[in-house]
């Protein structure tokens, strides 16, 4: 059986590192787009668009950014890992977003938990955990499956 030379703990560590970096970069890109939209237009409609960019742009962007980061940390089969992990991440991230947006309405404003529930950082943390779970699962599953030989 053709197994990856990297031990499982190293695979998990590399996948988590790439997931954290990809999520951070995706949310930074969403924040930058929101700031640019907010600076260019001061109308309420532009502010709504900026908020949507801040919250929704990182969802599809994080798994796209995961591939070059998986490659940068030298995880075996980075493209396949990112491709296999992307659908799992998108399902988990949409679930995180729905829970996050629903909790804002459920937590009373005078509660000490309201600043935490309202914070975008809780969404970032949820997305990071979702991408980490997806990439670690994909990387570990791909370690178990032998790579097919490429025929010329």
Per-residue pLDDT tens over the stretch 19-68:
999 999 999 998 888 888 888 877 766 677 777 888 888 999 999 999 99
Distances (CA, A) of 40 to 28, 30, 31, 52: 18, 15, 14, 16
- pTM, rounded to two decimals: 0.79
For residue 93, name the pLDDT band (cuts at 50, 70, 90).
very high
Q: Please state the rounded mean pLDDT for residues 78-96.
A: 93
Q: What pLDDT, in 10s, does the model give residues 117-146?
A: 677 788 889 999 999 999 999 999 988 766
For residue 148, name the pLDDT band (cuts at 50, 70, 90).
low
For position 108, what pLDDT does the model report?
A: 76
CB-CB contact of 111 with 142 (8 Å): no
For position 147, what pLDDT does the model report?
A: 59
Distance between first and last Cα of the chain? 22
Distances (CA, A) of 141 to 47, 76, 80, 135: 42, 12, 11, 10
For position 25, what pLDDT does the model report?
A: 95
- Which residues, 6 or more positions from 54, have their beta carbon under 8 angstroms from its beta carbon? 30, 31, 33, 34, 120
Question: Higher pLDDT residue, 81 or 106?
Answer: 81
- Which residues, 6 or more positions from 40, have their beta carbon under 8 angstroms from its beta carbon? 46
For position 1, what pLDDT does the model report?
A: 47
Burial class (CB in 10 A: 0-12, 13-18, 19+), 54: buried
Q: How far apart are CA 29 and CA 33, in angstroms?
A: 6
Distances (CA, A) of 70 to 28, 54, 64, 76, 148: 19, 24, 11, 8, 20
């Amino acid at each position: 059986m053709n197994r990856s030379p990297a031990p499982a703990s190293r695979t998990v560590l590399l996948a988590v590192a790439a997931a954290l970096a990809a999520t951070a970069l995706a949310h930074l890109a969403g924040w930058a787009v929101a700031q640019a939209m907010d600076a260019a237009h001061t109308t309420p409609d532009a502010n709504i668009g900026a908020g949507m960019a801040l919250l929704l742009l990182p969802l599809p962007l994080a798994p796209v950014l995961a591939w070059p980061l998986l490659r940068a940390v030298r995880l075996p089969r980075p493209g396949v890992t990112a491709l296999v992990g992307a659908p799992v991440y998108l399902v988990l991230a949409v679930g995180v977003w729905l829970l996050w947006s629903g909790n804002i309405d459920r937590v009373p404003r005078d509660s000490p938990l309201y600043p935490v529930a309202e914070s975008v950082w809780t969404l970032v943390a949820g997305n990071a955990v979702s991408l980490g779970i997806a990439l670690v699962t994909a990387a570990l599953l791909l370690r178990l499956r032998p790579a097919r030989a490429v025929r010329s």
